[in-house]
A and B are shown apart, each in its own frame.
Chain A
Amino acid sequence: MTSPIDIEGGGTSVVVDGEPGPETKGEAVKLDGRSPGQLMWLRFRRDRTGVISAYVVGFFFLVGLLAPLIAKLYGKNPYTVYADERPDLFDSAGVPVQPNGGIGGDFWFGLEPGNGYDVFTKLIYGIRTSLMISVAVTVAVVVTGILLGVAAGYLGGRTDYFIGRVIDFLLAFPAQLFFIASMPVVVSLFVSPRDETPTYVRVVALILVQWFLGWMGLGRILRGTALALREREFIEAAKVSGASPWRIIRKEILPNIVTPLLVQATYLLPNFVTAEAGLSFLGVGIVEPTPDWGQMFSKASTQLVMQNDITYMFFPGVSMIIFVVAFNLLGDSVRDAFDPKTAR
């Protein structure tokens, strides 16, 4: 990785006769080329904004992943109703006696007015829930986008026409409205309205609904990329040597769509995080007592919390802004690293 790129090494640099020794090895190592991926990684590492954003994003994922461990070390969990456990901390209306929701050594981010949940554990568990859902949606969208986009682009003709019209049709939907309207419908497909809805059903419904209207943009981009790649001569070269369409897609096209795929995925994920938060805020996503990022906003905007504990809003708000901004900056850096020629 440290050796300089030796582009015009053709035929002159290594003439080793006899003496296979450590020197030969060194030369061999030097002659290993850098893959486009390695070059991208080198460029990315030079981008300070990108690296810092990557650390921030990584930190959020780590927090989400290790939420149970952190909560254990911290000694609390998000489901404990402190209004019952420690009634001394609350007044008769259920508002923490201490200012700012009772922020202190025991409760770092304070307590939630009303039920008295611990805000810190609630936040990290909320991040965990939101990120899990968003990652699942992103994975589903990426898989769908690859399958349909590459199929449309590579096969062309009728397949392309059909998939293209489906994309047009779905893009015409007002997404946010559709989410709100269809969430209860999707949930009721799984559970009868009279029963208590299990959390996992809501999670699955959220993933399904967002996936259904989320894949078209990526699908279109990948269709375009596949369409452009199909006309390249290396595809014809593969055909001349008798490669099957499946092999061409797998070995020749897929490695070449990694660039737009990664760039788009880094833009999609923060969008899904905010969309999911929006749904939970509106009350059609994750509901109490399951902690969720967006649902904390909805809690913060209730009259009880608004009037008595304005700092409550601060924690989900600031953390989400940092996360979304960092992730979008990361997306920009990934794009810059992958194709340095396009100006922003």
Chain B
Amino acid sequence: MDDAERKAAALDLSKAKLERRPIRPLTETFGSFGVEDAYAVQQLFVEQLAPGPNRTLGHKVGLTSVVMQSMLGVSQPDFGHLLESMFYAESSAVPLSELIQPKVEPEVAFVLGRELSGPGVTMAHAVRAVEYVLPALEIIDSRIVDWKISLSDTIADNASSGGVVLGGTARRLEGLELRTIGCNLWHGGALAATGAAGAVLGNPLNSLVWLANTLGSLGEGLMEGEVVLPGSCTVAVPVTAGDEVRAFFAGLGSVGARFEGSAP
């Protein structure tokens, strides 16, 4: 991709998000392109959504389960930016007017107490950087029609980020065996999915290490106070107007979200 194509792709994504009108895969419109181009498009897309320097409040890691990786034929996760505008309070409804085809994923979120910049980040650095663990619901969404995404499509589309709701139960990492923490996702009155935090690369901390090193290779880092969503404990569950979801985590409390408004 040349600069003009990258800009055009980012504009297509911004327009799709703003007008809530999903577009066909970028890899069809622009022909196939690689991961480097895809992250460059993501950077432009994010800048268009959030002009100004301090609007990124966190990062998300996606494609962290074997199921998702084999579905897209990849062996690596990807990452996206969590912008200020994407954080929703648990006490208020998530407006569907901001979303196109949302799904919900329960995650164990990290809040960083110090900056974490790769390359060379190990598990030891990651553990020292995590100040708190919070229960979280990630809202994923795709600007690509019917979620027909390849790896490059989803990376360009800010790793299919939609939003995040953080629960208010803060825990320290000490004494937590993250790998085997159970998670039940309820959708309305029914159990929609179950899983464990170990579904995320064996342990969500592995995801944090990968993120810090991958950002480092691009000359970026994670800041003190940032929120990191490391990946989903379960399959993603589609949501629509009037839906209520709540995720319960063993020993970490719970977090809920309500969806209001109308689907496009």
Q: Are A and B a genuine interacting pair, yes or no? A: no
Q: Chain A interface (Cβ within 8 Å of chain B)?
A: none
Q: Chain B interface (Cβ within 8 Å of chain A)?
A: none
